[in-house]
Structure 1
Amino acid sequence: MIQKVKVQNSENLEQSIPLLIEMLDIRIGLETRALKLAIPNMTESDFARARNILALCGANELPHGWSLLNFQFHMCLYESCGRPKLLELIEETATSFGHLSRARVSFVTGRQIPHAEHVEMLRACEARNIGLAVSLLEQHIEHTQRALIELHEQ
């Protein structure tokens, strides 16, 4: 069973950072597999929906909003994988951070770099370049890990 990480303040976030980093490792495994399976099945409608989510994220000024849109973007990329249980596990893992933790992580990582990474991932998906898209996704999640490690070391 997935341990839910509910963070109420920044002190608890710092205490839970090692667990969040481990959860991001799990996300890498699950999400790269889902993306690899999804890309051949993606349609123009999927790409349009992902572009719309990115546009909303670019216009949103609040870390909580970025966090929610980030989750929607990622799930949009994976929905075509044809593996409902895999999608369920991804959702459980991603949401186990708790809303406040995800918003804090979004604040720590900022919006510009993750947004640019999302744009690159979507372009790779649209080009049906599975290897590049999966590599970009892994790097994207690792970027979040590095930001959390830096926060933890401060």
Structure 2
Amino acid sequence: MPLVAGFSATPVTAILSRSPVREALRILTSEGIVNMPAGGSGATVRTRSLEDLVELYDLRISLEPEIAKFVTQGAMRRDIDALRTLAEKMAASSSVPEWMRLNFDFHTTLYKLANRPHTEHFLKNLLSLVQPYTQTNIEWLGGRNRADDEHAEMIKAITDDDPEKLAKLFVTHLVAARDQLVENFEAEDKDDPLLHLRGFTSTTPS
């Protein structure tokens, strides 16, 4: 039966080239989001672990304070206004997915202001990898209000040209999220279905 009057049903493989799909999977694999077997078939979403959580946040805690002075040096008025707009939209948003997108844009904007492209690329990759954890913290653990407040403080530190304050805020921001997630992770039973729905698994013996 035609899907739409006047048109016949066409197999998806006839209208969708596999090349864009393969390229998308290649990118997701390079970012650690998808596991791709050697044969190139049977790709699966990578399951997150407690060990991943700690390692990824610790990397960000080590690296992000190092760009603080470059961010304050590179930020122009229009950049600060753009950050403030993102922060205000986050605070006003009633949608977790929208908040997540705005939060991603907020942090990638900070990375770009440092004008250190290799560091920016690495930090963006780390930011992509922690998105499942960030969503858990925001949606399930009540971390949103604190995150919104800390974003506003970061903007003030940039406005005041205070790289030391900004560096400390980066650390505070990340340590609070990491510790909250670790505490929740360790409190959850490894067989709790909610744990798996959130994309977490523990490789630590019980």
Deviation at 1:109, TM superposition (A): 4.4
Q: Secondary structure at the match of 2:170?
A: helix
Superposed CA deviations along residues 20-73 of structure 1, whole A, max 9, x for unmatched, are: 121011112222222222211110011000000011101212222222211211
Query: Which of the residues 75, 81, 90 maps onto 1:42?
Result: 75
1:141 has 2:169 as partner: no
Q: Does the CA-based 8 Å contact 1:21-1:148 persist in structure 2? A: no
Paired residue type of 1:102: T
Aligned length: 148
Query: Which of the residues 23, 26, 31 maps onto 2:59?
Result: 26
Q: Does the CA-based 8 Å contact 1:2-1:96 persist in structure 2? A: no
Paired residue type of 1:60: S
Aligned Cα RMSD in Å? 2.3
d(CA) in 2 for partners of 1:127 and 1:153? Answer: 39
| Higher RCO (CA 8 Å, separation ≥ 6 residues) | 1
Deviation at 1:101, TM superposition (A): 4.2
Please state which structure has a larger fraction of its residues in helix.
1
Q: Does the CA-based 8 Å contact 1:4-1:96 persist in structure 2? A: yes
Q: How do 1:5-154 residues align onto structure 2 when only pairs under 5 Å count?
A: 5=33, 13=48, 16-97=49-130, 99-107=131-139, 108-154=141-187
d(CA) in 2 for partners of 1:135 and 1:110? Answer: 18
Paired residue type of 2:137: V
The answer to which of 99-108 and 109-118 deviates more is 99-108
- TM-score normalized with structure 1 length: 0.85
Q: Does the CA-based 8 Å contact 1:27-1:93 persist in structure 2? A: yes
Q: Does the CA-based 8 Å contact 2:74-2:113 persist in structure 1? A: yes
Who is 2:32 aligned against?
4
Higher Cα Rg, which structure: 2
- TM-score normalized with structure 2 length: 0.65
Q: Does the CA-based 8 Å contact 2:111-2:123 persist in structure 1? A: no
Paired residue type of 1:134: A
d(CA) in 2 for partners of 1:121 and 1:92? Answer: 21
d(CA) in 2 for partners of 1:109 and 1:34? Answer: 28
d(CA) in 1 for partners of 2:178 and 2:129? Answer: 16
Q: Does the CA-based 8 Å contact 1:64-1:106 persist in structure 2? A: no
d(CA) in 2 for partners of 1:5 and 1:101? Answer: 12
Who is 2:38 aligned against?
none
Q: Does the CA-based 8 Å contact 1:34-1:87 persist in structure 2? A: no
